[in-house]
């Protein structure tokens, strides 16, 4: 395993982060425990979860993933070996079945305390805001359409002040963002500088061979402001694996949950096929090449990988040992030029 540090801290994390969002829906508690055991054996010390999980977001399964992690902590007594990240659900989903209070101090307090209870721990290393409160183009939408009648009021400073209270209490160590735009990343950075408040040290956004939009504006922020990307969906819901090249497996996430359609466009399928052929030419699996591409980016702190099966997990973690040659990277960029960012 390779390691780096969470930006602006001395906390060492593995370059591969274990994603957990299928545990409680597609995976059982036993599956989750098996995956955590294996990941730790391979040197992974960074887990990411959220109060919303498992996915798809449903009232009946909300919080199950954190519960599975909590029961593993209780069983193994390995909490102190893990850098743990979780998230408070933003209004996009919380209004449906969790709560209807955005990122008010009351909502943050309630969410954090409930997560701590499910996780069976008294602190979370990295606590993230899971979607902006304001209306913006996140999670599968390309263009931005401004709404003058938006109910949201500018509250970047207030949110940081609330989170700072939890840091002082010892309930969280560091803070981060998820599904955030360049505007939001910079506003939080500005407010933390201006008022001596904790800095958002990471942002968790989609990034893969089918979605390199982070490079357009946010990558420069990552490098200049030292805010690391924690990329999610680096395999595009499995689209960047061989099992999807010749069709859609019945038990795959894309087949089971049709609402996850962002990687189903014809251009996404076409690009994935081209990347598959390129990987074969260089003696790699498509998944290994796709993950290795993400692993090598200088703005990436840790690559969030997830799997429903142990064989998938083994292949994904092994990507840390794959080095992409310059000529292969040139070919990847040629495909990207032909079909840029087919998935929003």
Report the pLDDT value the prediction gives residue 256, as an integer from 0 to 100. Answer: 61
CATH number at residue 146: 3.20.20.100
In a domain, 238, yes or no: no
In a domain, 233, yes or no: no
List the domain range (segments joined by +) for residue 26.
3-204
Q: What span, in angstroms and rounded, lies between the C-alpha atoms of 289 and 322?
A: 8
The 10s digit of each residue's pLDDT in 122-147 is 999 999 999 999 988 877 788 888 98
The 10s digit of each residue's pLDDT in 261-282 is 788 899 999 999 999 999 999 9
Report the pLDDT value the prediction gives residue 142, as an integer from 0 to 100. Answer: 82
CA angle at 265 for the pair 262 and 266, rounded to the nearest 5°: 160
In a domain, 256, yes or no: no
What's the pTM?
0.95
In a domain, 9, yes or no: yes
Tally of domains within the chain: 1
What is the pLDDT averaged over residues 76-101?
86
Report the pLDDT value the prediction gives residue 260, as an integer from 0 to 100. Answer: 64
The 10s digit of each residue's pLDDT in 52-69 is 999 988 889 999 999 999
Report the pLDDT value the prediction gives residue 149, as an integer from 0 to 100. Answer: 76
In a domain, 11, yes or no: yes
In a domain, 170, yes or no: yes
What is the pLDDT averaged over residues 301-318?
96
In a domain, 180, yes or no: yes
Report the pLDDT value the prediction gives residue 151, as an integer from 0 to 100. Answer: 83
214 given a catalytic annotation:
no
Selected catalytic residue, list 53, 103, 127, 275: 53
What is the pLDDT averaged over residues 104-125?
97
Report the pLDDT value the prediction gives residue 93, as an integer from 0 to 100. Answer: 57
The 10s digit of each residue's pLDDT in 6-32 is 999 999 999 999 999 999 999 999 999
In a domain, 76, yes or no: yes
């Amino acid at each position: 395993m390779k390691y780096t540090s969470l930006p602006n801290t001395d906390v060492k994390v593995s370059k591969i982060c274990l994603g957990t969002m299928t545990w409680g829906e597609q995976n059982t508690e036993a599956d989750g425990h098996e995956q955590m055991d294996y990941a730790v054996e391979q040197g992974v010390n960074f887990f990411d979860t959220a109060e919303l999980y498992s996915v798809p977001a449903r009232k009946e399964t909300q919080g199950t993933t954190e519960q599975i992690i909590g029961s593993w902590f209780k069983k193994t007594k390995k909490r102190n070996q893990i850098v743990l990240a979780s998230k408070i659900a933003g209004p996009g989903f919380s209004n449906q079945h969790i709560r209807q209070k955005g990122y008010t101090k009351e909502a943050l307090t309630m969410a954090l305390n409930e997560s701590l209870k499910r996780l069976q721990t008294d602190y979370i290393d990295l606590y993230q805001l899971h979607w902006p409160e304001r209306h913006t183009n996140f999670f599968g939408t390309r263009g931005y359409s401004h709404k003058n009648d938006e109910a949201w009021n500018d509250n970047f400073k207030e949110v940081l002040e609330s989170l700072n209270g939890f840091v002082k209490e010892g309930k969280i160590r560091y803070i981060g963002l998820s599904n955030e735009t360049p505007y939001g990343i910079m506003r939080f950075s500005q407010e933390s500088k201006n008022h001596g408040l904790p800095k958002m040290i990471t942002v968790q956004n989609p990034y893969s061979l089918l979605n390199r939009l982070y490079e357009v504006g946010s990558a420069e922020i990552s490098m200049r402001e030292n805010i690391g990307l924690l990329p999610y969906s680096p395999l595009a819901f499995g689209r960047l694996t061989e099992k999807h090249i010749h069709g859609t497996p019945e038990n795959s996430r894309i087949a089971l949950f049709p609402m996850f359609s962002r990687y189903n466009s014809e251009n996404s399928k076409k690009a994935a096929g081209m990347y598959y052929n390129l990987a074969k030419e260089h003696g790699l699996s498509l998944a290994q090449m796709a993950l290795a591409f993400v692993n090598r980016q200088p703005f990436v702190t840790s690559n969030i990988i997830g799997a429903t099966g142990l064989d998938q997990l083994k292949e994904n973690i092994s990507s840390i040992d794959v080095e992409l040659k310059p000529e292969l990277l040139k070919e990847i960029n040629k495909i990207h030029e032909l079909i840029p960012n087919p998935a929003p």
